[in-house]
Structures are given as structure tokens and as C-alpha cells.
Structure 1
Amino acid sequence: MIHILFIVCSLLTFSANAGVQDFCVADLKGPDTPAGYICKPAAKVTVDDFVSVGLRFSGNTSNIIKAAVTPAFVEQFPGVNGLGISIARLDLAVGGVVPMHTHPGASELLLVTQGFITAGFISSANSVYVKTLQKGDIMLFPQGLLHFQVNAGGVSSVAYASFSSATPGLQILDFALFANNLPSKLVEGTTFLDDATVKKLKAVLGGTG
């Protein structure tokens, strides 16, 4: 009986450990595939692959939207490769806004740590969910849905956004429409905006056509 128990325990231990891979730190020199980056050789992995200090610092909000997003996605933080998590810092100056955008690859959880932020998203049924958040509040934005954040106070605001993917992706609606070479006539026809408005927005955001 003792021999049988020993064999069973040995088999269970082998089965439990056979398929275990603790982590897959991204080899950023390799290709970025739908399954993520290939793994850096274990012998070259260091503790710094699992630590990021980039979110200590405020982003530069001297831009048209008066906002900055500092990501810690797989390209900046190789340790998250394959783990289905990542994070970013959001800085909003007074009057700052993160325009309507989507993350095709992840849901987002926003935690406000300073100031006041009005945030919201639009469902696929065009229902609108908006709330003004303050320090300590969190809000969820489901994957792929249009959402936004706006500074809602007279002071700079800071928040941290965590994502359910190491590569959440980003598409900003305004830039998708007006910051490329999509012909103005097509933009006008698909948005019902007049020619003058489309040309003005293209000029502001660097688009052509």
C-alpha cells in the first residue's frame, strides 16, 4: 500500500509541474504575434523585467488635449507578456480630456487618485453611462466600447487604468476620422458633418484629403 501511495503521489506531482510555466517575459526583439511575444530565455530574465518605475512621473500635458497617458503595456513592461494584465497612468490638466476612444483588446478599470474626473462609456445599444469620480473611486469600461475621461475640477487630476490584456490596443475616434488621409467627402458622408467642419478638424489634427 505504501508503494502504491508513493507512485500515485509521484505521478500527481509530475502532472502538476509538467505543464507549468511561471512566466513568459517578452523578448521585444522578436515578433509581436496574436499570442504575444516569444519568451526571453529564462537565464536572461532579471527582477527588472517585473518592475516598472515609469508611472512615478507625471506625463506631459502640454498638448491639444491637455492630457497624457503613460502606459506600462508589454512594450514598456515585458513581464506582463501573456499574463492578461497591464496598467497606465492618466494625467489630466485643468480642462484636459481623453477623447472618445476604444480598447479593442481589453476591458479597463479606472482608479482616480487625485482630483475629479467625469468619465463615461456608450454601450452597443447607445445607452450612456456617465459619472463624476473623485479620489478612491473606480469605474469599469467594457472591452471595445467607446469611452472618455474629462477633468471635472479646477485642479490637475490623476488616475490609473488597469487592463485585462498586456496589449489592450487603442483607437481614438477623433484621430481615426480627422488625422489621416481619408477623403473629406467620405468623412462628410459618413458623419453628416459639413465640409467646413471636416476641413477645420483635419487641419487641427493633421489630416489630409
Structure 2
Amino acid sequence: MSLLWTRLAILGLITMAAMQPEISLAADADPLQDFCVKDTNQQLHVNGFPCKDPAQVQASDFASAVLKNPGNTSKGLGVAVTAANALNFAGLNTQGVSVARIDFAKNGLNPPHVHPRASEILFLAQGTLLVGFVTSTPESKLFAQTINAGELFIFPRGLVHFQLNVGYDTAVAFSGFNSQNQGTSQVAKALFASNPPIDDAVLEKALQLSAADVQHLRSLISKT
């Protein structure tokens, strides 16, 4: 994938995330000033991050190379998600947007997960993915589709969704979010690898599993 494709993908995703008024109303609050660069010296716990003194802000605060290099897909499920959000890109603080790079090995899977604070728009720069999400309605309807390089797919806020590499080679995608810190919760890890763990009886009854099955899944998922 060329450097030009990478730059265009990131720019397009940020622009689209910022220009969706009906989505923005349900995401981060509008900023009350031009910028609020995250002050890494402050340890205050607020909804967002404290602002750096504007007199100390530099152009470099609004630039980042965090998505420049591919992630390591050799472990686990064959996927590497690299996020650029307010946690590691100070200039994004209060701007209501963030981006992630997703690298897939052959057959790599970004497992079912949710973003509680943002909708996600994915641009596939390279490869072929099976993507989908499940609604919160009683019937839990699945919307799934295979997409190819150059195509987009939207995952509504807070819904369980996934991406699977079904192509013949690696795949690379870029996702834009209408939040400076979208949050991510993997379904399997939340159930079987929480800290402290969910009581076995809850999982056995809710998922109709035996005690042995629960322990097997705990061991398996904690390793991935």
C-alpha cells in the first residue's frame, strides 16, 4: 500500500467523522475554544484532559506518526489495531475525532467488540474483509457484507461488530471515530477474562455452558 493511499485514507476518515451532524450530536461535546492540547504533565481526572497553556502549544502538537508503520500481526488472532486518539495524540483532545489503523494477517480476525462512545466508519485500503454488526433489537439482526479495497462500511455506535480477512493476502484498513477516545470492549474478553472474573454461575446460566466449558474458555481467551 502506497504512502499516498495511507494519507488519503486517514484524511478522508477524519473529515467524514467530523461532518456527520446527526452522529456528532450523540458523541463528544463541541469544543469551546480553537484547541485544547492535552497537558501530559497534569494528572487530573476529568471528562477529557486538561489543556496545555496555549502559549506553549507548537505545530508538532497537531502532528503524529503513530499510524505510519504496520502493526505486528504474528500473534493471537492475526490482527493489530493501532489507535490514534487523545490518549497518545495530544492535539486530538476536545476535537471529537480519532483514527485507528487495522492490519490483518491472512485469515486475521478483529473479534466481536463494541465502541461505547463512537460510531465507526471503516475504509479498506488493501485486501478483502468480511465485516458486520449485530443490532440491539430483540431479534439481534446481523448486517454483514464482504468489502474490497477502496470501499467503506459503517458500524453504528455501541453495537457488537467484527472484521475478518477473507482475501488471499494481508489486509489494511483505517477507521474513523466521532470521539477523541472511542473505547473498545472485546466481547469474549469482557465475559471470560475480566478482572476480577465474573462468577462462574453467571456465565454457566447465561450462556448455557458447563462448569468445565467455562474454565476451558477462561484459559483459552486469557491467552489471546
For Structure 1 versus Structure 2, the TM-score category normalised by the shorter chain is 0.7 to 0.9
Q: Which residue of 1 aligns with 2:111?
A: 99
Instruction: State percent identity of aligned pairs.
Output: 38
| Residue pairs, 1:100-139, within 5 angstroms | 100-125=112-137, 126-139=140-153
- The answer for the alignment partner of 1:66 in structure 2 is 78
> 2:157: which partner in 1?
143
* Aligned: 1:175 with 2:189: yes
> Structure 1 residues 110 and 27, CA, compared in 2 at 3 Å: closer, same or farther?
same
Query: Distance between the aligned counterparts of 2:32 and 2:219, measured in 1?
Result: 53
Q: What CA distance in whole angstroms lies between the structure 2 residues aligned with 1:87 and 1:68?
A: 14
Q: The residue matched to 2:91 in structure 1 has which SS?
A: helix
CA distance in 1, matches of 2:91, 2:169: 34
Q: Does residue 46 of structure 1 match 2:58?
A: yes
Unaligned ranges ≥5, structure 1: 1-18
Q: The residue matched to 1:94 in structure 2 has which SS?
A: coil
4+ residue runs of structure 1 moved beyond 6 angstroms?
none
Map of 1:89 onto structure 2: 101
Deviations 1:58-81 (CA, angstroms, capped at 9, x unpaired): 101122211010000101111111
Alignment of 1:193 with 2:206, yes or no, is no
Question: TM-score, with normalisation over the residues of structure 1?
Answer: 0.85
Query: 1: CA distance between counterparts of 2:209 and 2:85?
Result: 36
**TM-score, structure 2 normalization:** 0.80
Instruction: Flag structure 2 segments of 5+ consecutive residues without an equivalent.
Output: 1-30
CA distance in 2, matches of 1:84, 1:90: 20
SS across alignment from 1:29:
coil
The alignment covers a number of residue pairs equal to: 188
Cα deviation, 1:94-141, whole Å, max 9, x if unaligned, reads 111111110000110000000011110011111211011111111111
Q: Provide the rounded CA distance (Å) in 2 between the counterparts of 1:127 and 1:186.
A: 25
Matched-pair contact (CA < 8 Å) for 1:28–1:75: no
Q: Whose relative contact order is higher, 1 or 2, with alpha carbons under 8 Å and at least 6 apart?
A: 2
Q: Secondary structure at the match of 1:33?
A: coil
